[in-house]
Structure 1
Amino acid sequence: MKVGIAGLGLIGGSLGKAYRSAGVTVYGQDIDPLTTQYALMAEAIDAELTDGNIRECDLILIAVTPVQAVKWFKENAEKISGQTVVIDCCGTKRYVCSHCFPVAAEHGLTYMGGHPMAGKERGGIKHSSDDLFRDAPFILVPEHADDMELLMKVKGMLMLAGFGRVGITTAEEHDRVIAFTSQMPHLVSNGFIKSDTALADSQMISAGSYQDFTRVAYLDEKMWSELFLENRDYLTKEIDGLIGELTRYRDAIEDGDRGRLEQLLAEGKKCKSAVLEKCGPAQINGERN
């Protein structure tokens, strides 16, 4: 099996290392030639992905931002074999899928949207690792979800990189859910850490909750701003909902209304219990970014 990877940041670099650890030949390329050279030295890839070897790939993973992914696919579609499976690894799916499905159809290619649900606070190939995706979920967005033979084939390809399970959804549903499960934690954490208390006190009195809550505040502002804006409809709905809830807490605290505050806290605890009962801790903690 041969895998091609376009984009050698944290995700692309980790995919390369994971596949190479599984004995798969990996070709990779990055818009920055120095990153490609680093990937070769770090043994994240076997060789550069070029026009000469791109048709050899059984699987191509596009690990860049949505706009860049569409651009790359359009520019390279005619070079790709009809036997190759192409999957993007973008954090939102509506934009990239709506543009890439027609490109695939035009060139007779097999493409589906994808989202590897794992990450780290710090990006870049220097922070990549071959175990980043161990037991993590990979979400697929196929144009047609009834080709079970193809889906099982793709699942087998992804499992080689260490993914624990593969889920199927639509681009619309993916973006609706990801606004809450991924984008909101990053956004809220990033805003929370701006407190004067955090910036002024070098000796922070804190427990593990502070570290847990602020872990994802350190993010790539260029990548995440693109994802936030692309998903603005679902994300603003989640932001408005949180603002409403925080206002209820604030009002109860300002008014000294302990009964109301206890009710609000009990509501939150009940919701958490309901989520655990419905999904289980494994699914809730599936995304490690």
Structure 2
Amino acid sequence: MRNIAIVGLGVVGGSFAKALRKHPVEGERILAIDPDEETLKKALEEGVIDEGETSNQRILQQADIVIIGLYPLALKEFIKVHRDDFKEGAILTDVAGVKGVLVEQLMEEIPEQVDFIYGHPMAGRENRGYAYADAEVFEGANYLLTPTEKNKKENLERLEKLITRIGFKRVTLVNPKKHDEMIAFTSQLCHVIAVSLINSDDPERGTVKFIGDSYRDLTRIAKINESLWSELFIENKVELLDAIEGFEKQFQTMKKAIQEEDSEQMESMFRESTKRRIQLEADDKKKR
């Protein structure tokens, strides 16, 4: 018998629960902790979880694997409060979108009897809450693990096996600094651009009559969880500001080319972007 506990049945934690249920293993039980009784009731009625509680201690003491689906600040507080409540030998992992500050601040808080392997599923939904959780969201997605020197090889392998079992196609091991640099560019900067684009519009001019796929695609992630993303931006502000500056340089180069009617410069930028996009698509088709 193996117990997997999920802390926080939001869109990510709920998707983990549903994906684990969709890809079952004999003798595995799915437990959940969430402050909302209605969420737990719904998950139980749907057969997604085997047991759920609003309090933490009893379930944590049973869990062999604990997936903590909390925002970074809440995650830090959770570990500090419950450091003595985990089962000896348990594997802990998170889903937070920043790692450097998190790893540094939690270094002294992680109890010796557990193995905390920092993780980041590169998948989710713009909406929040269990109602939007979906087992399919992980299919074909990337997963990042940021192991530390304290992590045991066998536990890393167990966690990787669980991750690929529920649909992720690629698991990448990366140090916290590299993680935050890359996520600032591939995720956080994209949200900055989407928010800035849609907020630059005049809402009175009837934009909806003129939009096509370009605008829909670019602004999809502008429907954003304001509490979560504010935390992520601030926790990773150095790397994110660097990414914004790099983008601004490219933006200014394009702006200058338009102002000066420099079609040669624009065409060069278009050719380069096309080449890079084609290469990105080819690389993404590879399993690893």
Contact conserved, 1:97 with 1:112, CA < 8 A, in 2?
no
- Equivalent residue number for residue 40 of structure 1: 44
Equivalent residue of 1:149, what SS? helix
Determine helix, strand or coil for the equivalent of 1:53. Answer: helix
One of 45, 49, 58 as aligned partner of 1:52: 58
2:181 is aligned with 1:180: no
- How many pairs align? 282
**Correspondent of 2:244 among 239, 244, 247:** 239
User: Residue 13 of structure 1 corresponds to which residue in structure 2?
Assistant: 14
Judge conservation of contact 1:78–1:107 (CA < 8 Å) in 2. no
Assess, with a 3 A threshold, how the Cα gap between structure 1 residues 157 and 196 changes in structure 2: closer, same or farther: closer
Change (3 A) 1:66 1:199: farther
Tell me if the contact between 1:101 and 1:111 (Cα under 8 Å) persists in the aligned partners.
no
How far apart in 1 are the matches of 2:164 and 2:272? 39
Cα offsets for 1:32-62 (capped at 9, x unmatched): 4443334334443221154223222121001
Residue in structure 1 matched with residue 74 of structure 2 by the alignment: 68
C-alpha distance in structure 1 between counterparts of 2:203 and 2:267, whole Å: 27
Equivalent residue, structure 1, for 2:229: 224
Could you tell me how far 1:197 is from its partner in structure 2? 5.4
Map of 2:89 onto structure 1: 83
SS of structure 2 residue aligned to 1:219: coil
SS at match of 2:93: strand
One-letter amino acid matched to 2:4: V
After superposing the two structures, state which structure 1 stretch, 198-207 or 215-224, moved more.
198-207
Counterparts of residues 261-280 of structure 1 (less than 5 Å)? 261-273=266-278, 275-276=280-281, 280=283
For the pair 1:168 / 2:173, whether they are aligned, the reply is: yes
- Could you say which residue in structure 2 is the equivalent of 1:282? 285
State the alpha-carbon separation in 1 of the partners of residues 69 and 274 from structure 2. Answer: 37
- Structure 2 residue runs of 5 or longer lacking an equivalent are none
Identity of aligned residues (%): 27
| Residue 9 (structure 1) shift | 0.8
Shift of 1:145: 8.1
Contact 1:198 1:204 in 2 (8 A): no
1:178 Cα deviation (Å)? 0.3
Query: What is the distance in 1 between the residues matched to 2:131 and 2:93?
Result: 23
Q: 2:14–2:130: 8 Å Cα contact kept in structure 1?
A: yes
State how far apart, in whole Å, the 2-side matches of 1:199 and 1:75 are.
49
1:29 correspondence with 2:30: no
The answer to which of 139-148 and 252-261 deviates more is 139-148
> How many angstroms does 1:249 deviate by?
1.1
Deviations 1:181-222 (A, max 9, x none): 111111101111123356522543333222211111111011
- Structure 1's unaligned 5+ residue stretches are none
Q: SS state of the match for residue 30, structure 2?
A: strand
SS at match of 1:78: coil
Cα RMSD (Å) of the superposition? 2.4
1:79, CA displacement in angstroms? 1.1
Contact 1:252 1:260 in 2 (8 A): yes
User: In 1, are the aligned partners of 2:126 and 2:224 still within 8 Å (CA)?
Assistant: yes
TM-score (norm 1): 0.88
**3-state SS of 1:122 partner:** coil
